[in-house]
Amino acid sequence: MSRIGKKPVQVPAGITATVDGQKVTAKGPKGELFFVANDEIKLALEDNAVSVTPVNDSKDARSKWGMSRTMIENIFKGVKDGFERKLEINGVGYRASMQGKNLQLALGFSHDVVYEPPQGITIAVPKPTEIVVTGINKQQVGQVAAEIREYRGPEPYKGKGVKYAEERIVRKEGKKK
């Protein structure tokens, strides 16, 4: 039994949610998102909450039960508050700047890396060594942050590169005589 899936997802104030068969749509101040559940999951909107139940007791249905509830909870949070991911840049001469809507990164290559964010994602650079990725879709925000980090991931000897703000780099000692 899914402990997460048993709990119904409360619809927050200021958000209108509709359930149409397998599709849950949420409209809020930040925008509109939808989630289409698998056929092995049954959705119902009752008492201002979306309840998620498996159609049968098969392993496949039970495995999608908790994930479907979490996805619905994420679209509610996304249209209400949005999601944010912070990145930090460490290293001499490594910096970020905005070039219109595009992100320009100086990461020690012979050329600057220019990253064009997809639709619905906003990138901000409050400091030259800090990048903030925001949007309403949690998956898309995480994907954009991962793509930016991929250009120059943190290395274990000096910690140079692009890392998540909450990430801890395990440092290595280096050579000994």
How is residue 117 written in tokens? 């964010």
Say what the pLDDT of residue 142 is.
96
pTM, two decimal places: 0.88
Burial class (CB in 10 A: 0-12, 13-18, 19+), 166: exposed
- Span 62-84, average pLDDT: 92
The domains of the chain are located at 3-80, 83-164
Q: What is the pLDDT of residues 82-130, one digit of tens each?
A: 999 999 999 999 999 999 999 999 999 999 999 999 999 999 999 999 9
Pairing of strands 113-115, 121-127: unpaired
Q: How confident is the model at residue 16 (pLDDT cuts 50, 70, 90)?
A: very high
* CATH numeric code, 83-164: 3.90.930.12
Does residue 62 have a pLDDT over 90? no
Domain 3-80, CATH among 1.10.1740.10, 3.90.930.12, 2.20.25.10, 3.40.50.300 = 3.90.930.12
